[in-house]
Structure 1
């Protein structure tokens, strides 16, 4: 009994010391040390680890500590091994017996092979039980650590993949990047992308159209497409394994990515989860590009309607479209005022006066009139030559024509004149036709600009993305004389999240972003650099301007955030007289921010 207790304690101490140093050792190195420790503790001539390789479906010798004269093979095919014999161990006079200890934890399956000296063989079964229990505990902990590291690596890979794909608008380029990502992950596998619709992808890419038929529904690829779930197929005749992952967007499934292994293998749950997330990201990117390209096609198709629509679509800027429509209205009916009133997201709760409206709609009276129309839910056309409204209103002839598309009311175009009964009914009908033809163009342009903005805008803060900021800095460094970059980091932001929750943390970020946007001029670029770091680039500005702006924002943030936070800032500049690059500017500014954080926070450091 004493021997068993000593063995248990010794193993625990040895394994604990190994766990304390897992960062310093690889998985195989730890198992090597375990084998050597068991050999030393038990005075065993032979100790070896065999672990089950689920991909190759074989037990693989990972490490051993042994007398080489008793060793024959480095690989044993799949099979359950138990009992007191092991076929490739040569029994000798000195080594009278061997044990095969089966190891089976949540994530690890394998065997520990031990040969015993004659004096220990009568207690081998008891010793084996103690060794099995403690070793399985050790492998469980190590396996979980390895799993956590693998998951973290997967998250980084998926983040980089998302960042790359969501910056693209071309379906063909996105499909190429999907294949590139899969080839980097599985260099020995082959891939196919089965899309639900025809694609203009490069013919060299393995892109096909998914089949629709009664027989096709029996195919695993079609099952994955219809169910939206990952499917696995072991094809025994072809001696390979296929994984089918649906390309799922927010609105639909756009196809299936097929991953073919060169042999029959068992994919782990962790790998299946990675493939599923990879395909979901790819599906959303395809969806975004499809929506973006679809909006472009819609705007382009409007050119066929009539001469006015062709002019509208010749310039896709919303301000120019509304200006063209406004001028056309003024020229046709000689109106005094024209206003474009857009209902945000058809919510009937908010409205915007679009650029292109006449100056009247920027006045208090103009806003009051727009509010009156919105509040009264003016969804039907209005034609009046003697219009009355409470309060001051200077116009008697009023035409209000809804901007409609597909049964939805997106806003109004108001046309007015001071004289009573100024507009004829024929003019009113003409204006209805003009608005009908113009409304679709206006709505599609709003949608397109929103889509374009969403690509370069951070969803939470509504600041520009880091990629857009870098693009603008590179442009300005080629065309301007100088410029300034400010990096701002929220001090102790983790404490805000830990104390008040991530929702409050997001609110703090949006509060600070609003302050930054309010005090960044139209030439400047305010962006989310990453996490709680924000950035401002000011073209044609020097150190003094940058420092003053950073100081102003720091003070405003300190006094106007709830819960209150402070900022640390790094400021750096460039000028065309000195050799420089955007990357060097980023490094200098980042170092200045680092110095600001290390000098007590709530501080501004100007790079020299």
Structure 2
């Protein structure tokens, strides 16, 4: 090689040295190649130059960089003839047989330790005057360019690896500072998108893939089309799928923690049929790190959920053991179930201990007091009575293809000392709305609530027995006394009616004491049927009964007393009549319970003495019929 050739090579090597700035943290392989081609073009005074490369799995040589790509064929078929041409390691001038390059002057195959995987095409001039380069110059140029390519590839790889692992360190810090699965999965995707913008990514999760925002999440389908993904999920090992037809390679990296695999990261590399080896290790490491973070996030969320569940049971149990009335208790349980489980309908159905009848407890949602609820209640009543076990249904349908509005249903029996007291029905219109964890929590909640519910019912039943006359089911006299005295303190007025069954001794003597008791029961039932829920009917003693009408004026009270007299006369069997003594009070007149009763008793005495079967009124000043 002559002196000019030496100078050209020295100039190229000098400029190659200047191209590489080791202080730069943003070394771009394509940018370095572009500068390399520009250097060669300028030093050789060439018109245009292009660098072609081919991967071992590719069937075409493609342009990586060119000084003017419009003059070059974008890709060339990697035929056997062309491979043999390159493997000869010869410099090919325009006279070479390759049609794709027959209008170019020089083709230079670049040497690489793994064989020929790139070459230069040089167009020296377009004026018809070719610039001549000696073979020795071109041979040295091939060696220098091959060496330079190796160097910049190594340098870029080092810089890229450094950047990747800095990113991995940053991501790992974020993973361990976050306890939300959404954040962990999002950081995985964002990191990969930053490093490999041409790749596509999907997270294949086996379950619980709702509320993930805009993350590319798919369900992990258990079918023959997802063999590699399932292999990665089941074995915990990275799997690959290569497709020459679709010109893509897919990597499946399991998101693996210490306790199991939580999903699969799918990475799709386009325009390749073998996944790049240099990226396998990093993506696998990122997936493993993410798997551990996902596991930690899940465990944290599970622990929070367990604490929340325990708090719910503890608070509910504490509240239920605070002597709530039955109505208050059922409303409280219904509200807690609705809010905690996002249920639309909550019902409590109680079985009668004496018959096959059922009753919907107060506190159940309004739906259970409608006709539409009967089909659900009846259907689950039979199943609960038969199986005596909880039911968890995700997509409910009635038998005989009858459509069901509510698809997600949980039916929990209320058992106490081995006896079935009733059941709770929790429903939602959407299929599979409740999770199995929710079902187990509801079972625990109903189990704890049943004892409190039973105790409350027994307590209220005992209270009712204390204030209720056993024979007539009217209130006791003590209860009436308390209510009248309370009314005098809080109300503006009230009417008191004292009732006596006429000639009751004769009834007992004629029909016997059992019939006498039945007569008292008949009169008591007539009283119950003809007064309001806020009025108080009481057994005063023996055949004497009493009614107190809070906030009722005298004339209305007299009308009620007269109606009772007429009803008893018409409905009793054996036939009896009653006499009524009526007294009245209001805030304008200072009065007390003793005087109210005394006036009513005096009026009743007058009624008995003046013919019976009548109503007599005793006011402060006079007695009137």
TM-score, normalized by length of structure 2?
A: 0.46
